[in-house]
Amino acid sequence: MLGSSRTAVTAIVAVLVGIAGLSYVLARAVAPAGAQPAAAQAPKGQAALVEFTTDGKLKQPVGYRKWVFVGSPLTPNDLNDGEASFPEFHAVYIDPESFAHYEKTGEYRDGTVLIKELSSVGSRKSPAGNGYNQGEFTGLEAAIKDSKRFKDEPGNWGYFSFGHKYPLKKEVAPNPTAACNACHDQNAKKTGLVFSQYYPVLRAVAPKSK
Amino acid sequence: MLGSSRTAVTAIVAVLVGIAGLSYVLARAVAPAGAQPAAAQAPKGQAALVEFTTDGKLKQPVGYRKWVFVGSPLTPNDLNDGEASFPEFHAVYIDPESFAHYEKTGEYRDGTVLIKELSSVGSRKSPAGNGYNQGEFTGLEAAIKDSKRFKDEPGNWGYFSFGHKYPLKKEVAPNPTAACNACHDQNAKKTGLVFSQYYPVLRAVAPKSK
């Protein structure tokens, strides 16, 4: 008796899930034009990860602090003649669906968004010992793999900087190829132009890459 | 005409979502006993965040690398007489639902799980400059707020260490109060026993705490 109830419930659930899925499609179909911001590589059925202006500038990304953390290189100003290229803590994030794809394939899918959020060195001492602790947020960078938008760039990656000092820029054009891409292409070619040698989170899940 | 179609579809969607929700409840109601691992503070309708053995040991957590990144203090061995208390990069994570609660309230809810994953210092130089890059994973710690399980601990936090060298322990008993809790209680009392002064991600979202 319990078995047949379960079967019946399962059948009802299956039908309802199907109907709910259809209703979602319908709801999207009648959404006002422009309700979902257009993006080059938005996963189907999801809001765009990032948004561009009509003239190709990237709007300041949001929500990335809930993405997957990739790693945290640290280039303190005091070890870089007072001004590091990326001052100072780098918190690197990848969008969750691209991480899932990377877990399966070891590849960065078309549409991957990487965010590098920078923060200053704050306290040099804590109850945990001597070292470096994050101070305040100072900067924001993004790298986006998009075979249409950046078809002429090495690896189809576009790189953006919203500045290294608050307030950050609201929207920015891609950096010139020589500014970012050339170095990534030269130093991280084997790992899809991402410096995964510094990111154990990526190395741990990639099926083949190191 | 378009307006009324939209209204009709919206009404249908509302009904279907309601029914789908009910079907989900029903599906759970007939799930076999024990299908969801028991945990002290599993959010309703979700698998447990962490699991304990029957004698109160914490099993090694999984999946936390997809949680919300909190911050990355660094206590290098070479700045701590060759052996830091927490060697060396600390990647701290919080479970997503507890983060959502913290965003709203600035408080750590009962059931909050914080993970500290440790990794070694690898390369001291990269194309980004001089500094510190993550090497390999070396250790894992957890702090769990649970008013039932840790009712006698300051702030109801229990602290666990799976070791600072691989292979990590599979399951561990809570650390003695003096080993962790006393220091957190002494140095981070104003911020719920979490060292949020070192975590801009937390400071940025907390309504009131600093």
**Which residues in chain B are closer than 8 Å to A132, comparing Cβ atoms?**
73-74, 132
Is residue A185 less than 8 Å (CB to CB) from chain B? no
CA distance B154 to chain A (A): 18
- B181-198 pLDDT, tens digit each: 888 888 888 888 888 888
The minimum CA-CA distance between A4 and chain B, rounded to whole Å, is: 11
What is the number of other CB atoms lying within 10 angstroms of the CB of residue B122? 17
Q: Look at residue B195 in the predicted model and tell me its pLDDT.
A: 85
CB A67 within 8 A of CB A168: no
Residues from chain B contacting residue A74 (CB–CB below 8 Å): 72, 74, 131-133
Query: What residue of B is the nearest CA neighbor of A95?
Result: B66
At A10 the pLDDT is 41
Q: Is B123 part of the contact surface with chain A (CB cutoff 8 Å)?
A: yes
What value does the mean pLDDT take over residues A139-147? Answer: 97
Tell me how far apart the alpha carbons of residues A187 and A201 are, in angstroms, rounded to a whole number: 19
Q: What are the CA-CA distances from residue B140 to residues B86, B94, B135, B172 (Å)?
A: 10, 14, 15, 11
Confidence band, pLDDT 50/70/90 cuts, at residue B36: very low
**Reported confidence tier of residue B164, pLDDT bands at 50, 70, 90:** very high
- Between residues B176 and A36, the one the model is more confident about: B176
Q: Which has the closest alpha carbon to B195: A74, A129, A126?
A: A126
pLDDT above 90 for A4: no
* A210: confidence class by pLDDT, cuts 50, 70, 90: very low
Contacts of A91 in chain B (CB under 8 A): 69, 71-72
CB of B21 within 8 Å of any CB in chain A?
no
Residues of A in contact with B68 (CB under 8 A): 65-66
CA distance A57 to B183: 48
Which of these ranges, A78-82, A114-118, B180-184, has the smallest mean pLDDT? B180-184
Residue A1 confidence (pLDDT) above 90 = no
* B7 part of contact set with chain A, CB < 8 Å: no
CA distance B16 to A20: 6
| A33-92 residues touching B, CB cutoff 8 A | 65-66, 68-69, 71-76, 79-80, 84-86, 88-91
From the list B4, B6, B3, B11, the residue with the least C-alpha distance to A28 is: B6
Are A119 and B200 an interchain contact pair (Cβ–Cβ within 8 Å)? yes
pTM for the full model? 0.78
Amino acid code (one letter) for A128: A
Cross-chain CB nearest to B68 (options A65, A119, A195): A65
Distance from CA of A147 to the nearest CA of B (A): 25
Q: Name A137's bridge partners.
A: A119
With a pLDDT cut of 90, the percent of chain B lying above it is: 63
Q: What pLDDT, on the 0 to 100 scale, is given for residue A33? A: 36
Position B138 confidence tier, pLDDT thresholds 50, 70, 90: very high
Q: Which of A6, A26, A137 sits opposite B200 (nearest CB)?
A: A137
Does residue B31 surpass a pLDDT of 50? Answer: no
A126 has a chain B CB within 8 A of its CB: yes
Nearest-Cα residue of chain A relative to residue B22? A13
| Chain A / chain B CB contacts < 8 angstroms | 170
In tens, the pLDDT along A101-113 reads 999 999 999 999 9
Residue of B nearest to A8 (CA): B27
Q: What is the pLDDT of residue B190?
A: 83
What is the chain A residue with the closest CA to B200? A136
Q: What DSSP assignment string belongs to A53-111? A: -TTSPEEPP-SGGGSEEEE--B--GGGTTT--SS-SEEEEEE-HHHHHHHHHHSSPPTT
Q: How far apart are CA A102 and CA A106, in angstroms?
A: 5
| pLDDT computed for residue A44 by the predictor | 58
pLDDT band for A19, please (50, 70, 90 cuts): very low
Question: Mean pLDDT, to the nearest integer, of B64-87?
Answer: 97
Per-residue pLDDT, B23: 38
The pLDDT score that the predictor gives to residue B208 is 63
Least confident of A25-34, A63-72, A183-192: A25-34
Question: Which of B117, B186, B201 to mutate to probe the A interface, most A CBs <10 Å?
Answer: B201
pLDDT at B35 over 70: no
Report the range of poorest mean pLDDT among A115-124, A176-185, B77-86, B149-158.
Answer: A176-185
Q: Is the CB of residue B17 less than 8 Å away from at least one CB of chain A? A: yes
